Amino acid sequence: MCPWGNPADSNTDLMRKSVSPERNLRGNFCFSLLFFPVRGMLCKDHFSGMERGEDSMVDEREVKQKARPAQKKEISLEAFIFIIVFVAFFGVFAWKMGMVNAMNTLMNTAYKLLTDTVFYLTAVCVLMGAVSALLSEFGVVSLTNRILRPLMQPIYGLPGAASLGIVTTFLSDNPVILTLADDKYFRSFFKKYQFPALTNLGTSFGMGMIVCTFMLGLSTKSRGESFALAVLVGLLGAVVGSIISTRMMLHFTKKVYGKDEDMEDSGETSGIEKNMRPVRPGSVGNRLLDAILEGGASGVKMGVSIVPGVLIICTLVMMLTNGPGEGGAYTGAAYEGIGLLPWLADKLSFILKPLFGFSSPEAVGVPITALGAAGAAIGVAERLVEAGKAGAGDVAVFTAMCMCWSGYLSTHVSMMNSLHCEKLISKAIISHTVGGFLAGVAAHWIYVLLSMIV
């Protein structure tokens, strides 16, 4: 009920005392005509305010529910299961290596990765961050997006600007794409579902230049066999794997974000007119220096953000992949391990050999090592070529899988964390596992077909 009464009732006594009954009737009627619309509007505002209040209360309840952390019972079966799995997992290392040696290897490997790998990657990220900022500031990103969009969109389902990620990671390493992704103008070209796929795209070409040149150099250590065709085929196989990995990732991200949601407006590109791009204020020299310094600072942030993922994940992968030290004894040195992954791969060789065409069972160790580190994997490939256990066909597969996988188990977690896409880590790993596997299969069969023709 409205908070106001009938205006005619409230003025009846006064009207009766001052006017005649007929005039009283006419006055009440006129007053009602004037006041009732106003009263109606006030009542409408009153009820709409109540409705808005109810809506705000509902919104507050929704916010509180979203802000409430996930909870479980204080004591549950999960704690006991975790203790059993945790003790069993590290018990395998202690049983094989000895407890003291296992702990020393764990610490020494993490330290070596920090000094030899992470610091190197951080330096590369700083340099490539500066380059990425320059490319964005002086219009190369816009130009690349305009030129390569007709190619990148149908093949990868990404904007043309994503091709810069291919170039930068090919010349350096996969985490370098994070420096591009940290640029606000670069992000403006992407839909929200496309952005997480940069992890898969960049990893597919990580260390590409190093891998290709190293594999070409192995020709001098082979028995007069040229590896030029094999490396080109391997590069093509990596491209095939990158397309599969990226497309699979986009399939998952569309279900999470939809196809139409844009990246969140950071304020950097808001208000920019069509066919225009944002630039830093000042002269060309000032813009150049600002871009270099800001891009380098972004590289430092990206380099630091990958530290946990590289140290934790890569240490475990290396200890699961590598064997004992020199002489077959465990000493607690860095990069020793129990060789579990190669043992599993050897048991599956009856499936892997027809798919990859490896010349020897030991060749399976190259892609297995590439799961954790591409640099270590190409070192294994060198030893196999020197021993005559790997030929040109194997090198084609090595190139494709070392380049496409490029230690993704070590970097995918940290890269997805840096992109704030933690909930999609498992999807990114699944997509890239399939992509790298099929990259090797494609390289093998393409090389077989070309060998029959050439």
Tell me the pLDDT tens digit for each residue of 394-429. 999 999 999 999 888 878 888 888 888 889 999 999
* Choice among 67-71, 243-247, 328-332 with the minimum mean pLDDT: 67-71
Quick one: residue 5, left, alpha or beta (phi over 0 = left, psi -120 to 50 = alpha)?
beta
> Distance from first CA to last CA of the chain, Å, rounded?
92
pLDDT in tens, 309-343: 678 877 887 788 788 988 889 999 998 999 887 78
E strands in 333-438: none
Task: Map residue 317 onto helix, strand or coil.
Answer: helix
Mean pLDDT score across all residues of the chain: 80
Q: Record the pTM.
A: 0.68
pLDDT at 66: 52
More confident position, 28 or 360: 360
Token couple for 155: 């093949």
pLDDT at 415: 85
pLDDT at 12: 46
Residue type, 125: C
Quick one: residue 431, left, alpha or beta (phi over 0 = left, psi -120 to 50 = alpha)?
alpha
Measured distance CA(294)–CA(301) in Å, rounded: 11
Highest mean pLDDT among 9-18, 201-210, 277-286: 201-210
Q: String of b and e for 296-329 (b: at least 16 CB within 10 Å)?
A: bebbebbbebbbebbbebbbbbbbbbbbbbeeee
More confident position, 29 or 70: 70
The rounded percent of the chain whose pLDDT value lies above 70 is 81
Measured distance CA(377)–CA(392) in Å, rounded: 16
Rounded to an integer, the average pLDDT of 224-242 is 91
Q: Give the torsion through C-alpha atoms of 60, 64, 66, 67, to 10 deg.
A: 130
